[in-house]
Amino acid sequence: MTATTLVEPAIRVTGLEKSFGGLHVLRGVDLEVERGSVVALLGSNGAGKTTLVRILSTLLRADADACAVRGIDVARRPEQVRETISLTGQFAAVDEILTGRENLVMIARLRHLHDPGRIADDLLARFSLAGSGGRRVGTYSGGMRRRLDIAMSLIGDPSVVVLDEPTTGLDPQARIEVWQAVRGLAENGTTVLLTTQYLEEAEQLADRIAILHHGRIIADGTLAELRRLLPPARAEYVEKQPTLEEIFLAIVGDEREGTPS
């Protein structure tokens, strides 16, 4: 047995079930997320993605499960799980009256961390927001708010970050800004569980992809492994045309700082 096999996964879910009245949302979900990896959880509306995320982040109790974050049982020791995991929901949880820096400083102070100003400045630089840190968040673009929201979720150095449909409602340029932020998390060794409805998003970001359908994981693997589930591709000559997203970005540019919304 190698040393790798002895490492507890960042997230382990076995037989997870959850019902609301007579509606069975999760019907025995099994999922593992390796430490330092990005796993995308795909599923249509109503598949149970957000319910799973809420259980993992201790906001909701499961009906039946064996569910752990970094080896910590979610149901038995929720307080310890909250110290390990950070959740960013579908809408940016930022204070629009405060500046970007003030938002970060506030969270650092609430966590009783030393030198909140330095923490804020480091995160602003990391997420390419240093030039906008002194502006009110109400003037930020959608992508900038989302990046600030993700930066706020990293205060306290959580080892596991859950992003629940982080690019919902964002324009193409803002989505790419968020993708860059997620890649930065992975490069720094943070474990990321990403729920999304966008197939391209999963293809761009994920080490592994799990497909949740009618409350169960029906496929789980790398993109290459999932491709092998289909018949072999037939080679044909196709003239590649630029995608609409490529055309959009070529016309408007790719400005990291954004402009006031």
Q: Please report the pLDDT score of residue 53 as a whole number.
A: 93
Q: Please report the pLDDT score of residue 185 as a whole number.
A: 87
Q: Are strands 85-88 and 72-73 parallel, antiparallel or unpaired?
A: unpaired
CATH superfamily of 8-232: P-loop containing nucleotide triphosphate hydrolases (3.40.50.300)
β strands within 2-130, DSSP E:
11-20, 23-33, 38-42, 64-69, 72-73, 85-88
- pLDDT under 50: residue ranges of the chain: 1-5, 260-261
Q: Please report the pLDDT score of residue 254 as a whole number.
A: 59
Any residues with CB less than 8 A from the CB of 215 and at least 6 apart, and which? Answer: 24, 25, 26, 27, 28, 29, 47, 48
Q: Please report the pLDDT score of residue 247 as a whole number.
A: 61
Sheet holding 23-33, edge to edge: 23-33, 11-20, 64-69, 72-73
Task: Quote helix, strand, coil % in the chain, to nearest 5.
Answer: 35, 25, 40
Question: Which residue, chain included where needed, has tokens 């708010």?
Answer: 145
159-197 tens-digit pLDDT? 999 998 888 888 888 888 889 888 988 888 899 999 988
